[in-house]
Amino acid sequence: MIVPMKKVSLVVLDSERERSLEKLRELGVLHLQVREGHSETLAGLQEDLAALQRALVLLPQAKAGERDGEGPEGDVNVERSLDVARRAQELADRERGMREDLSRLERTRSFLAEWGDFDPRDIEMLTERGIIVRLFTMTKKELEAASEATAVFAVREQKNVILAVVVDRGETSVVDGVEVPVPDRGLSEVEAAIDETVDRLEEVRRRTGSLALERGRLEESARILESRIEFERARVGMEVDGALAYLTGFAPVPVLDRLEQSAHREGWATLVEDPAEEDPIPTLVRNPGWIRIIKPVFDFLGTVPGYREYDISFWFLLFLSVFFAMIIGDAGYGLIFLLLTVLGRIKWRRAPAEPFFLMFVFSACTVAWGAATGTWFGIESLARDGSPFARFIVDPIASFPEGGGDSSRVVMKICFVLGAVHLTIAHFRNFIRDLPRLRSLSELGWLTIVWGMFLLIQIVVLRRDAAAPLLAVDGWPALVMPPGVLDAVSDVSLIEGGIVLVAAGLALVALFAEQEGRFFRGVGLGFARLPMKALDTIGAFSDVVSYIRLFAVGLATVKVAESFNQMAAEVGFGLPAGLAAALILFLGHSLNIVMGALSIVVHGVRLNILEFSSHLGMEWTGIPYRPFRQKDSPTDQITARST
């Protein structure tokens, strides 16, 4: 449920601006609508915070057991943390300079290694005595020509290039080839410089590592600065009119009494009103604990519904659980997830409970679907008579049907029914939202279009007989309609029925989608925009079809597991072949699990965030409710119960 908000304006004495903000922060219920302001204090705080954040990026993580005695929960001195940040930056700059020096030295060493170890000062000494020594790279032909004019000594031949030393007395001779500058240091000297630079670099790294023990204090100091910045922004962002200062924010309706009591006690003037349509209203979602377990998914995606949109937490949890089960599709994998969740909860007892309970639900659903399809690590023999797991199998959806049958049509049909039902919920919620306005009937039109497309999909995708029962699944009763209704429509052509439903839905959309008060004007606008609405029906068709991804990915998971099992069986299970087979099984099934987990995000989450949400008209442009507060404020109790 999205908690209702009220727009609150507070007027205080300008002389008590800071004191009032302190009291307001202690109260911790008002989400401020802060006007941008500037001050030297704010700029300085932001600069200090940036320095701490850079230091946290530069410093490595301290190893377990290496933290000093005080730790992050000890006394935190922001100035000390800033000094640590400056030292970390200095060490990082020194390390970067040393790395550049080391890179240059290594390039010089590579060059000198080709020419051999010599002392460049010897060449200078010979030059002073009139003996000119130069280094060249040249071809064989150039070497032969140079040998006729002066003394040339070949040092090394590399493919078609010769490293040569040309020696002249008195004057330099003209020699073809490329002259190489004489280095200022010899190979031994360069190698000694490299060793010295490496030692200095290790010392810098050691000192940087010792600063990593301060990470806890730096992180806490950064949080303190963030709190100071928030306070300073609120202070400089307040509007001032003479002796008065005022600000505006938003507060959840359940805590308005506390806010008004504090305002009365502190002598603040308050104005509480309904937010305007254009106001940037924050969103606070509060749900029962059993629905709140879906919160980690929303946190991971970074999605927040708009204040005037829907809280789809329940439907998201319900359908994502089903999608998770169908995509993973293997009861054995579900048991692994269940075991890992139990072990994780034991290890991280103090961690938030929601992610673990969510994985319990996902794992249980996966085990249930895998048992119904007879899929246990892709092992076909576990789905045959005589297996203790065979009693749980639902034959029409079995992954390994008896007699080599094919259950794919049934599973695809289930996917399409899921899609149609999912999108029906979206349009029915819109219908309830728009009541009693006439435009609500347009949502019934879209609902009708969705089911018309569902019927057409039976022919286009499943290639069903046009005279087949409307919603029957081979060997099963109807999924969403009682048998008596099926008998009444069993002779209706799916194509004709689908076209009729789509046409009827478009008529409702044209008549009522643009109704804003004047009926005939709305009808005219509706029919004028009918061509665009007709194109939108193609989107409805593709949205329903997109749910087949549940079947496709689930089938791929089963086939990949089956393939790795077959590969291991071909290797054999004796010794030493059994070790190779075990490795194949471990790596293959691990890869399959990882790919399945990625598919949950790519496909399962997508069906909720895109297909379902687009039919709801959601844009996920909400602003999270972040009240102006201190840590451990009573407002934490509100947000802790919210998603």
What are the angstrom distances between the C-alpha of 529 and each of 444, 452, 525, 614?
18, 21, 6, 19
pLDDT of residue 534: 85
Query: Alpha-carbon torsion 585, 586, 592, 593, what sign?
Result: positive
What b-and-e string marks burial along 428-453, b requiring 16 or more CB atoms within 10 Å of the CB? ebbbeebeeebbbbbbbbbbbbbbbb
Say if residues 571 and 577 touch (Cβ distance below 8 Å): yes
Q: How far is CA 126 from each of CA 172, 507, 574, rounded to the nearest angstrom?
A: 13, 101, 76
Q: Please, which pLDDT band fits residue 465 given cuts at 50, 70 and 90?
A: very low
> Is 70 exceeded by the pLDDT of residue 477?
no
* Predicted confidence (pLDDT) at residue 632 exceeds the cutoff of 90: no
The mean pLDDT of 601-609, rounded to a whole number, is 92
Q: pLDDT-derived band of residue 464, with 50, 70 and 90 as boundaries?
A: low
What are the tens digits of pLDDT across the range 67-101?
444 444 445 789 999 999 999 999 999 999 999 99
pLDDT in tens, 330-340: 999 999 999 99
Which residues are 273's β-sheet partners? Answer: 7
Percent of the chain with pLDDT over 90: 53
Confidence of residue 309 (pLDDT cuts 50, 70, 90): very high
Q: What is the mean pLDDT of residues 368-382?
A: 93
List the structure tokens of 57: 């990026």
Whole-angstrom distance, CA of residue 456 vs CA of residue 464: 10
Question: Helix, strand, or coil here: 275?
Answer: coil
Q: Which two tokens stand for residue 377?
A: 């690590």
In the predicted structure, residue 490 carries a pLDDT above the cut 50: no
| pLDDT for the residue numbered 463 | 63
Q: What is the structure's pLDDT at 144?
A: 82
**What average pLDDT does the segment 144-167 reach?**
84
- Contact between residue 284 and residue 252 where contact means Cβ atoms under 8 Å apart: yes
Contact 307, 1 (CB under 8 A): no
Q: Determine which of 52-66, 99-113, 377-391, 590-604 has the lowest per-residue pLDDT on average.
A: 52-66
Pick the more confident residue, 513 or 365. Answer: 365
- What does the pLDDT read at residue 295? 92
* Per-residue pLDDT tens over the stretch 198-222: 999 999 999 988 888 888 889 999 9
HEC assignment per residue over 413-427: HHHHHHHHHHHHHHH
> Which pairing describes strands 623-624 and 282-283: parallel, antiparallel, or unpaired?
parallel
Contact present, 459 and 466 (Cβ < 8 Å): yes
Residue 444 sits at the vertex; the CA angle it makes with 442 and 446, to the nearest 5 degrees, is 75
Q: Which amino acid is at 563?
A: S
What pLDDT score does 536 carry?
85
pLDDT tens track for 613-629: 999 999 898 999 999 98
pLDDT at residue 635 greater than cutoff 50: no
Residue 641 has pLDDT above 50, yes or no: no
Over range 22-48, report the average pLDDT.
Answer: 90
Average pLDDT, the chain: 86
Q: What's the pTM value of the predicted model, to 2 decimals?
A: 0.78
pLDDT value at position 64? 52
With 60 as the cut, is the pLDDT of residue 422 above it?
yes
Q: Give the right CATH number for 1-35+238-280 from 3.20.20.70, 3.40.50.10860, 3.30.70.120, 3.40.50.1370.
A: 3.30.70.120
How far are the Cα atoms of 332, 425, 584 from residue 326, in angstroms, in the given order?
13, 20, 25
Spatial separation of the C-alpha atoms in residues 317 and 314, rounded to whole Å: 5
Q: What is the pLDDT of residue 626?
A: 92
Residue 631 confidence (pLDDT): 60
The confidence score (pLDDT) of residue 508 equals 92
Q: Is 88 exposed, middle or buried (0-12, 13-18, 19+ CB in 10 A)?
A: buried
Looking at residue 254, what is its pLDDT? 93
pLDDT score at 473 = 46
- State the pLDDT at residue 50: 94
82 versus 634: the higher-pLDDT residue is: 82
